[in-house]
Structure 1
Amino acid sequence: GLESGVGYEWTPDGKSIVFEGLKDPAADYNYRNSHIYSLDVASGAIRQITQRPGTWTDPSVSPDGRSIAFTGADSSRMSYRAADLYVMGIDGVNIRKVSGSLDRDPGDVTWAPDGSGLYFSAGDRGTSNVWFVPAAGGTAPRKVTDGVQMLSLSSLSRTLTAVGIRTTFTDPPDVVRYDLKRPGAPQRLTNVNADVLAGVKLAGEEEIWYPSSGGARVQAWIVKPPGFDPAKKYPLILEIHGGPHGMYNVAFSYMFQNFAANGYVVLYVNPRGSTGYGTAFGNAIERAYPSVDYDDLIAGVDTVLGRGYVDAKRMYVSGCSGGGVLSSWVIGHTTRFAAAAVRCPVIDWISMAGQTDIPLFTYNFFDAPFWEKPDQWLKQSSLMYVGNVTTPTLLMTGELDMRTPMPQTEEYYQALKMRHVPTVLLRFSGEYHGTGSKPTNFMRTQLYMMSWFQ
């Protein structure tokens, strides 16, 4: 009864499988709620373990088979709420929150071999590291690894040697080993892209924080071309992430490296609505998407312009999915950008509700359905601001996209044409959501963007 992949795990005795799901005849009307269940393998009987309404996910059974760790939060209409980490008995009794006030989304939940506690990863301000918390609760989680990196926890030995995937801005993902007893620099076990990167000079990256509206502090990164000279003037690409509840991070990005290698400064931002900064920051766009996220993006552009090395006449904006929402919103609210590449956007929330494969996501963003209160639906739709657009706009969407379907792009394209705004629509055959699942299309997307910008 859930819309995406589910978590499940065997009990140590091999007699049961614990899993997340929703056994409910009204499941078609369920947006995010789920429960933890137990399946008796011999009989096929299913027993519901959690009882409180909520989004309960990622069950992990303790080594002795007596407890279950899981993540989630009580049922809510909040657009975003950071998940907590819980432990309960195998029969669902004695539920306790063990993550305290961490206010970050736990992932890769793994029991310590002796059952004393739980290791987990958590995205935090553009990085991911591993944490530990006692299973009994009452003690704040402590950070075990540290570093400007994206580090996962895939497997854990009895001696607390962990294996995961690590990436940084200059290191593509590789398998690493690290010791949770004596944390230090992870040891790389693979070097998959060594031959590709041999002799290649990569772009540099600078992390910045800056103020925005309402007293918000916003984190972003500036990617600078190899051989960067601050005395020169460079074109700028503002690339916007999707979600909207997602987190740009310090992982290696071929796209950003490619843009920088072609002489662009790239700005990527975690505006309000992003994860990794707590519930209040992530939920700041509730019932108002887009809104203050736009403020944060433009404040970031102003911050980089203040450095003196960006040509204000050669600034470009782009993004896919949630980034398509915001890039189309940007060009309807400012004429500062010389061109835009709007990819797989939502531009009309009313028609989106009837076209997408996630209609309940769409309805949840508004106080009431559009037939009761259409004004808010229209106010948050980029299509309603197309009369302000003068920016030459490239549109790209997969023909098989069911998330932000092609009609969204077509609506915007036709409106731009009616206004005589320079525009091109590229339809990607065989692509679902996004335009880069095939390597050739991944490259074409970037080449089309740079060609349009030039």
Structure 2
Amino acid sequence: MNKNGTTNRFFLNGSNGKWSPDGSKIAFIKKGEPNGTQIFIKYLGVEGEPTQITKLEKSPSSMEWSPDGKFIAFLMHVSSEAALDPIGVPERPKGATWTKGPQVIDQVDYSQDRVGFLERGFRQIFIVPSEGGTARQITFGEFDDISSGISWLKDSESIVFSSYQKEDAEYARGQSNLYSVNINNLNLIELTSRDGTESSPTVSPDGSKIAFVGSTWTKNFYQDRKMYVMDIDGSNLRCITESLDQTPSPGVWGKNSSGVYFNVREFGQSNVYHADVKGKVKKITNGNHMLTMNDLVGSNAVATWTDPSNPSDIISFSIDKPNKINRLTDVNKDIFYNVEFGEVEEITYKSVDEKYVQGWIVKPPNFDSNKKYPLVLRIHGGPHSMYHVGFNYNFQLHAAQDQVVLYTNPRGSTGYGYDFANAIQNAYPGNDYDDIMYGVDEVISRGYIDENRMYVYGGSGGGVLTSWIVGKTDRFAAASVNYPVTNWFSFVGTTDGATWYYNFKNYPWEDPSEHIKRSPLMYVANVKTPTMLMCGEEDLRTPISQTEEYYQALKMNKVPTVMIRFKDEYHGTSSKPSNFLRTHGYINAWFDKHSVRK
């Protein structure tokens, strides 16, 4: 579409589009020859099909144009030699069909949710001429995957990237450094050596500085991030968001290279901030919305925007006049014509330990405070994430069914400072349960909730807390525990996140006591609430064995239950439209079947 939002039209099939520096063409990724996805170029104003400029054996990712437009850098997986080859196995006889060979695994991280089992090897940086030609590998070594978010220096001769080029890198949880590599002589320079992570580097327009997001290592599961700036040789490193007790997104430099703009999600909202290179932080946009800036050209910013009654659309605004927002799209206008949404009311209430908790109530359309309504309590996952004021289809669907919805941000949630997010370290679940129950009490105190028709559900971290809740109270008529962790002891050895798992002080083979104490499975004998379970059969984050363990325990205790196993789903049950509809269909059916507390 045009920059004012007019002439919105189909352009091409593909993904990960990147404008060239001169704005004359777009690089993007789509399926090509010989296999997988390839890099293509589409010239603006030129008739005909896009030009395929790579013919790679594996799919590229994370493309970035060089500032002079001559090269495109990208990441691609490079295979390592097999960890072990069998001895004494003859070659397959001609014409014979053999079973596919086994996967030989010797990595710490050998699987990844939504990817599957990982091929042995590492992501490396390659470059290819933008006019087409042979791709050339410019980083080497079997240390650590190179993270997405590579950035060219202004001279178009070096690339800055995040990795951890050290021996035993796979065991180094929470560690990464920034490096630069020269594309001509392949000289590799370590720019940072902090104890922690550095990621998402971006070079200033004048080429003199690099901004990046970094965290300082702690043993805590939640690692807070700050924005840092340094000179391009790694000197003069300083944190520029020290005064901000919130987490910045990767930054976008201002046009004069004097500071960085970034998004901050806090208190249920998202807005744009600016930090200058001396560390002065200023909030740029304000509003009860989720405004996420995606790019900045001069003073003109482009962002996505949503609020309680509007799904996401694209907006633009001037950094100099941030309160004047230009809405460029209204893609759901026809769908929501004549649809009435439920009112979303923000609440703040006091929980245990004098902690204040933020939440929201969604009321049915045509709400009558003199009536009694069912309550649906929804719990977010993470657990380090944040419910917010952006439009939520699920909540409005419940409201349209004449149900009141409560969703809150208990301790452990992000957006309320580092201490609040880390309040559940070594104690999860714990007082977050109290935060949620106090929220339920707050809504009940308003007089319009039928306490015999209250329901609860959540997924992932929300599934953890839902299974914890039904083991602690029988105040709910029905529950749905979705893709949960129910047994921390068995979870450690089966999740795809073994290296980042630090929920408790010790691993279970060192001291299993906390893992047992905090496992919902250990309290299943207390459960009286009819409890449905849902999980994707391919889940590698909270494997389906976690669901199966809890299901068997519920059945053995004769608790009304059913297990819904979703085909072709990793972590979650709604990545496909049909499964999205099924997820909510089953939840509605379960709550309808057990509509009144017995």
Tell me if both proteins adopt one fold, taking TM over 0.5 as the criterion: yes
CA distance in 2, matches of 1:17, 1:344: 40
Residue 148 of structure 1 corresponds to which residue in structure 2? 288
1:115 aligns with 2:254: no
Match of 1:447 in 2: 585
Residues 325 and 382 of structure 1 are in contact (CA less than 8 Å); yes or no, is this contact kept in structure 2? yes
1:431 and 2:569 matched = yes
- After TM superposition, give the deviation of residue 46 of structure 1 in Å: 2.8
Tell me how far apart the structure 2 counterparts of residues 36 and 176 of structure 1 sit (CA, whole Å): 33
> What stretches of structure 2 of length at least 5 have no aligned partner?
1-142, 593-598
1:425-452 CA distances to partner (integer Å, 9 max, x unpaired)? 0000000110000011111111110110
2:335 counterpart SS class:
helix
- Could you list the per-position Cα deviations for residues 37-73 of structure 1 after superposition, in whole angstroms to 9, with x for gaps in the alignment? 2122223333221111102121111111111111122
Identity of matched residues, %: 49
For residues 177-231 of structure 1, what are the alpha-carbon distances to aligned partners after superposition, in whole Å with 9 as ceiling and x for unaligned? 0111012142111111111111111111000000000110000000111111111
Aligned-residue Cα RMSD (Å) equals 1.3
Distance 1:11 1:182 in 2: 31
1:136 equivalent in alignment to 2:278: yes
Matching of residues 191-230 of structure 1 within 5 Å: 191-230=330-369
Q: Is the 8 A contact 1:152 1:164 kept in 2?
A: yes
Say whether residues 1:376 and 2:509 are aligned partners: no
Q: How does 1:276-295 map to 2 (within 5 A)?
A: 276-295=415-434
Correspondence for 1:400: 538
Q: Which moved more, 1:19-28 or 1:308-317?
A: 19-28
1:157 aligns with 2:285: no
1:143 is displaced (CA, Å) by: 0.6
SS at match of 1:86: strand
Conserved in 2, the CA contact under 8 Å of 1:6 and 1:21?
no
- Give the Cα–Cα distance (whole angstroms) in 2 for the partners of residues 312 and 102 of structure 1: 41
Indicate conservation of the 8 Å contact 1:81/1:282, yes or no.
no
**Residue 345 in 1 paired to residue 487 in 2?**
no
State the 4+ residue runs in structure 1 displaced beyond 3 angstroms.
Answer: 1-5
- Alpha-carbon shift at residue 360 of structure 1 (Å): 2.5
Aligned amino acid, residue 151 of structure 1 = L
Confirm or deny: 8 A CA contact 1:108 1:154 kept in the other structure: no
What residue in structure 1 maps to residue 493 of structure 2?
A: 354
Alpha-carbon distance in structure 1 between the residues aligned to 2:338 and 2:144: 47
Residue identity matched to 2:476 = F
Compare the two structures and name the one with the higher helix fraction.
Answer: 1
Spell out, residue by residue over 1:363-405, the C-alpha distance to the aligned partner (whole angstroms, 9 max, x if none): x111112122111110010000101101101100000100001
1:5-404 alignment runs, 5 A limit? 6-137=148-279, 139=280, 141-158=281-298, 160-362=299-501, 364-404=502-542
Q: Which amino acid aligns with 2:352?
A: S
Structure 2 CA distance for aligned equivalents of residues 40 and 3 of structure 1: 19
Q: In the TM superposition, what whole-angstrom CA distance separates every residue of 1:323-349 from its partner, at most 9, and x where no partner exists?
A: 011100111111111100100000001
Q: Secondary structure at the match of 1:452?
A: helix
The amino acid of 1:268's aligned partner reads Y
For the 8 Å contact 1:225–1:263, the answer to whether it is kept is: yes
Q: Structure 2: how far apart are the matches of 1:284 and 1:110?
A: 31
Query: Does the residue aligned with 1:411 lie in a helix, a strand or coil?
Result: helix
CA drift of 1:4 comes to 9.8
Distance 1:369 1:197 in 2: 50
SS at match of 1:273: coil
Structure-2 separation of matches of 1:442 and 1:4? 33
Instruction: Work out whether residues 230 and 237 of structure 2, in 8 Å CA contact, stay in contact via their aligned partners in 1.
Output: yes
Q: How many residues align?
A: 450
